[in-house]
Structure 1
Amino acid sequence: MHVFETEDFHAAVHALAPRVAVFDCDGTLWSGDAGSTFMHWTVNSGLVSPEAAAWLRGRYAGYNAGTVDELAICGEMVQVFAGIRDGAMRQAAEAFFAEVIERNIFPEMKQLVDELHAKDVEIWAVSSTCDWVIEEGVRRFGIPPERVLAARVKVVDGLVTDELIDVPTDEGKVASLKRMGITAPDAVFGNSVHDAAMLAIARCAFPVNPTTALMERSEREGWSVYFPASVRPSL
């Protein structure tokens, strides 16, 4: 399997002259899982009630044990905030990202996104993490909220509800993009097997910091992969 060096990775992306580029976020633009980390952070900070925290811990344990699936847990990690003001969620996301995630941003990916912006590429962020965190995070990359497709619930009169609007994961990422009129993006970047369906619709797929499962899929598909320096394994 071909593994890009940074210069070659950037060159391959620019050689496509993409008009539309789509990025997963957790593990792709920054290291770590901001979704589950935000869940634990909000529980520890007391943002959610003790009852809701206990319920969510139980559901997440079930997810780790394989009895709760990816789609369900990603939705529930947003629904748990029902009854909290949207403004409070945005303030929490701002504090969380600055405190916990910002230092994990991959500078190589930030540079790439900046270069694509300079070429007027239409850039989208697609993630199964909640919209509050993703919108806050990709603000660092110049990606506006209207180009963020993330796990989200309906907000009524400023209050968060438990009514799901979208949970983009697996084939759901493709469906979310399709609703925005994007069926064949030029370049797609993702790090996990939950991005595989989205990677498969791209003119060119770019697995970034791929998990073991995505490495295996990439080998089958003939996709070249890229590891930012901070997470590059000994290959």
Structure 2
Amino acid sequence: MTTVHAAPARYTLPEFENSVLSLSPSIAVFDCDGTLWGGDAGYGFMIWSIETGLVSRNASDWIDSRYRQYLASEISEAEMCGEMVQIYAGLQESELRHAAAEYFRLHIESHIFPELRSLVARLHESGVQIWAVSSTNTWVIEEGVRRFNIPASRVLSARVRVDDGRITSDLVAVPTDEAKATALKQAGVTRPDAVFGNSVHDAAMLAIAQRAFPVNPTAALAEIAAQRNWTVFYPESVLTDSKL
């Protein structure tokens, strides 16, 4: 017998904005890929950096093999996200920052959700402390959230140790799943007022919020949202593309 789950309630744009702003939040936390902008910037940057020759052929062959294992559920989300940062070991960080800026400008910037950009701007105007948490590499995320005036000091993302400007393979953090909530707590953010995320990998940090706001949720997160009575929001471009 197939179990049919009810769809979660949805916000209209005015309802979404009012629900967030009426909280008068002090701290708001945002996932990035799929939440602030459409698409997976981490995977996209990896493919782009391979195609442009930024990483060696050996490294690209290895990460392609690992990604196939990930799709087959043979390695975890955390392992995959970590290895997608480690492939840049040996390169100068300045080179990665330049590449991330070019990639974001060319391939992601046009996919920023204007509704989220406007909301973040209004939160800034109200003096809200805003954090970005992502399992995508920190070079892409720091570049992307500059469009939202979120400082690098409030970015928790996948990163490796950098020695004298050169990237190493030593993992520092891979914030995904429960590790997102843990990273926030380690940064002193134990009970954020509002948390925004789009996938099941954001569920743990959504759960620690005073109010959870699933944005553009995947099917798995929409199911969790329905179970927990979290109202969801879909940006207009998502509704137009998917006919939800």
Report the TM-score, using the length of structure 2 for normalisation. Answer: 0.95
State the partner residue of 1:159.
Answer: 166
Which residue of structure 2 aligns with residue 136 of structure 1?
A: 143
Q: Which consecutive residues of structure 1, in runs of 5 or more, have no partner in the other structure?
A: none
2:34 is the counterpart of 1:27: yes
Q: Report the AA paired with residue 170 of structure 2.
A: E
Between the aligned residues of both structures, percent identity stands at 55
The one of 2, 5, 11 equivalent to 2:9 is: 2
Aligned-pair distance for 1:234?
A: 3.9
Range with greater deviation from structure 2 (205-214 or 62-71):
62-71
Q: Distance in 2 between matches of 1:42 and 1:135?
A: 17
Give the number of aligned pairs: 235
Partner in structure 2 of residue 182 of structure 1:
189
| 1:114-133 map, 5 Å | 114-133=121-140
* Counterpart Cα distance in 1 of 2:71 and 2:45: 17
Matched, 1:207 2:214: yes
Structure 1 Cα separation of the partners of residues 229 and 160 of structure 2: 37
Match of 1:57 in 2: 64
Matched, 1:91 2:105: no
Deviations for 1:29-87, whole angstroms, at most 9, x for unmatched residues?
A: 00000011011000001000000000000001111111111000000000010000000
Provide structure 2 residue ranges, at least 5 long, that are not aligned to the other structure: 1-7
Deviating above 3 A after TM superposition, structure 1's stretches of 4 or more consecutive aligned residues are none
Read off the aligned partner of 2:138 and give its amino acid letter: D
Tell me, in whole angstroms, the C-alpha distance in 2 between the residues paired with 1:84 and 1:68.
25
Residue 197 of structure 2 aligns with an amino acid whose one-letter code is G
**2: CA distance, partners of 1:130 / 1:205:** 24
Superposition deviation, residue 8 in structure 1: 0.8
Q: CA deviation at 1:111?
A: 0.1
Deviations along 1:83-127, whole A, 9 cap, x unmatched? 000000000000000000000000000000000000000000000
CA RMSD in angstroms, aligned pairs only? 0.6
3-state SS of 1:146 partner: helix
Indicate the residue corresponding to 1:75 in structure 2.
82
- 1: CA distance, partners of 2:144 / 2:93: 17
Amino acid at match of 1:57: D
- Structure 2 match to 1:173: 180
Determine the C-alpha separation between the residues in 2 that align with 1:89 and 1:52.
Answer: 15
TM-score normalised by L of structure 1: 0.99
